[in-house]
Structure 1
Amino acid sequence: MTDRHIPAVESAPTARYGELTRMPVEYTAFCELHRPRYLSYARVWFREPGQAAEVVRHALHALAAVWPEVLGSPSPAAAAWEILRETVADQHSRTPDGLQPGQADEDLAILHYVVGLATPEIADVVGVDTASISSQLRHAKRRPPEAG
């Protein structure tokens, strides 16, 4: 029988807070897979790379707190994406630039056109099927920009 837990590594969100915890290997793998894309998304909303990284750390820390429930959900990636979006929106509302993280279609457009992810990658990050992503991207492209 193998130990399915590994010690928290320096890049794990809890390590920054000085906690000596052990996270499931599935959580660590999930973070390693999604952290770079989450950072790319957060950098769209925060000018300082350190601030974007801090927001992602907060989101992954929140994810760690509910990991068993997320892992048991129909789409762990979708649940984690919502935690990230909520964390970005919450932290961003505290900045004075007046911009706000948008609707789901706008987030998909950001992931595709700004971050540069292909449709299958976006589907993997947000936890929905590729056909839905394609449809939503077409819808976002056709929708006129909102007046500011």
Structure 2
Amino acid sequence: MSESAAQLPASLPHPIRPLSGRHSLPPSSGTERGGAPATAVARLSYEAFCARYRRLYARYAAARLHHADEGASVAEAALSCLARRWPEALACESPAAVGWKTVTGIVEASVRPGTRPAVRLPGRQADTVILRHRLGLPAETAAEVMGISRSEFSTLHQAALRTLSQDL
């Protein structure tokens, strides 16, 4: 295990895999519409999800934890955890929201004392500021990453900016 992975909380319920590693999905004996095996469909959708979000999750976690290697490890830990819940995530309205909740939960558990910001925003408001202003994502992309609508993202982001302007 890498040095940065060893620094993650011991309570993580999953192994940390290297960035190039593949995560395994739980076995399934069912089939999807059209006769395609459910495992093949789930595997392909999971791999596409990882390809879309892995780098963004790593950048977000690195920004929150102030360490690039830890960001990558946390992103992999979140995707590993999500792999075990992937069929459940697919049944939800927004698999991206399930993934976001997973990565932010692991990030929160990994934050060291003394590294929290001076201005304390509620979690999702803080996330909008990090995604938009630290990572430079367009609002539409940031909303997609969080698994929420553009209007919900805008509401959270505006509330965060109001709070920050009052604290300055």
Length-normalised TM-score, structure 1:
0.78
Q: Which residue of 2 aligns with 1:129?
A: 149
How high is the sequence identity, in percent, across the aligned residues? 28
Aligned residue identity for 1:24 = R
Q: Where does the alignment leave 5 or more consecutive residues of structure 2 unmatched?
A: 1-18, 25-39
> What are the residue-to-residue correspondences of 1:1-148 with 2, within 5 Å?
11-14=20-23, 24-92=43-111, 95-99=112-116, 103-144=123-164
Over residues 3-31 of structure 1, what are the superposed CA-to-partner deviations in whole Å (9 max), with x where a residue is unaligned?
xxxxxxx724538xxxxxx8701000000
More strand by share: 1
Q: 1:88 to 1:97 in 2, by over 3 A?
A: same
Q: Where does the alignment leave 5 or more consecutive residues of structure 1 unmatched?
A: 1-9, 16-21
Q: 1:33 to 1:117 in 2, by over 3 A?
A: same
Contact 1:12/1:28 (CA < 8 Å) preserved in 2?
Answer: no
The 1-side partners of 2:67 and 2:144 are apart by 26
The alignment of Structure 1 onto Structure 2 pairs a total of residues equal to 130
Which of structures 1 and 2 has the bigger CA Rg?
A: 2
The 2-side partners of 1:50 and 1:70 are apart by 27
Q: 1:55 to 1:146 in 2, by over 3 A?
A: farther
When the two chains are superposed, the root-mean-square deviation of aligned CA atoms in Å is 2.4
How much does 1:41 deviate? 0.5
Aligned residue identity for 2:135 = V
